[in-house]
Structure 1
Amino acid sequence: MSSALVWQIVRAQNSFMRTGLHGHKFSAEPGNLYNKHSYKYSGIANANSVDVSLENDTLKLSTGRPKTANQPKKSKCVQMIKKNARRALVGICKQAGSVRPDLKQAAQARAAALAKSLRVKKATK
């Protein structure tokens, strides 16, 4: 199925939709870096998707493979990034830029926020 057809099917009702104040629609789906309910940023509808998340105190970068979009097990390429925050940001920026250049900034911002949340605060005397 084409990604446009998938979006037409799932856009009206899916379990990831969230409605905010004043009727704004948001999305909690994996692969949606901006959390906006739209075709451009959808991780479900687009075969080329980028997702940055945490798993066991390491950053996890998931990218979609368009050639295997109809095979769910093979459709995602997952990389665990165990480097320090700066190296991780550079790697995520390069990978996201090669898959979806329009989502490069969003992936970098999400990775920076997640890396900052992992940082341990220094104890004060």
Structure 2
Amino acid sequence: MESGSNSFLCKRKQAGGVQLSRDPLNLVNKHSRKYEGFVNDQAIGINRDDNTVKMTTKLPKRKNNPAKMYQESSFAASTPARKVYKSVVNSTAKKGYRADLRAEAVARASAIKRSQREKKDKTPPTKLRGAKA
């Protein structure tokens, strides 16, 4: 891995000089060899695409064929959250494909599903009581 620079690296002076990543196959957006998708032969990416959750996996057998290197599956917004989480775990960790990223993958899918929910009004309208009603 390029230690000093790469196209996905995003250095910030705040918070003690944290190094972040813009890699679409990085589940936690942290610049670390464990999470970087362009370094590892097997990588998982979970991203938002319009109103869906898109899961991308990198296929190690096709590393010399970039056009066919990625497998994508998407879940509609109407898909229940638990079903999305189970599908993410079944298609990755349970098959022995990067089992170390199970918690990160579910957390990323959960955050995307939470962001796609419709926002509720914080305060309900007040009801007038008595003669003013």
TM-score (normalizing by structure 2): 0.80
Please name the residue that 2:21 is paired with. 27
Please name the residue that 1:50 is paired with. 44
Number of equivalences:
117
Q: Give the whole-Å Cα distance in 2 for the aligned partners of 1:51 and 1:67.
A: 18
Please name the residue that 2:6 is paired with. 14
**Which amino acid in structure 1 is aligned with residue 102 of structure 2?**
K
Q: Give the whole-Å Cα distance in 2 for the aligned partners of 1:40 and 1:85.
A: 26
More helix per residue: 1 or 2? 1
1:95 to 91, 112, 118: 91
Could you list the runs of 5+ residues in structure 1 that have no partner in the other structure?
1-6
Please name the residue that 1:85 is paired with. 81
Q: Give the whole-Å Cα distance in 2 for the aligned partners of 1:72 and 1:115.
A: 29
CA drift at 1:122: 3.5
- CA RMSD, 1 decimal: 1.4
Could you list the runs of 5+ residues in structure 2 that have no partner in the other structure?
126-133
Find the residue that maps to 2:103 and give its secondary structure: helix
Of all paired residues, the percent bearing the same amino acid is 32
Deviations 1:74-121 (A, max 9, x none): 110000112222211111122231321000100000000000000112
**Which amino acid in structure 1 is aligned with residue 83 of structure 2?**
R
**Which amino acid in structure 2 is aligned with residue 105 of structure 1?**
A
Q: Give the whole-Å Cα distance in 2 for the aligned partners of 1:19 and 1:12.
A: 10
Please name the residue that 1:105 is paired with. 103
Contact 1:31 1:42 (8 Å CA) reproduced: yes
1:61 to 50, 55, 60: 55
CA drift at 1:23: 2.1
Deviations 1:20-62 (A, max 9, x none): 3222222111111122212111100111000001112010000
Please name the residue that 1:118 is paired with. 116
**Which amino acid in structure 1 is aligned with residue 92 of structure 2?**
A
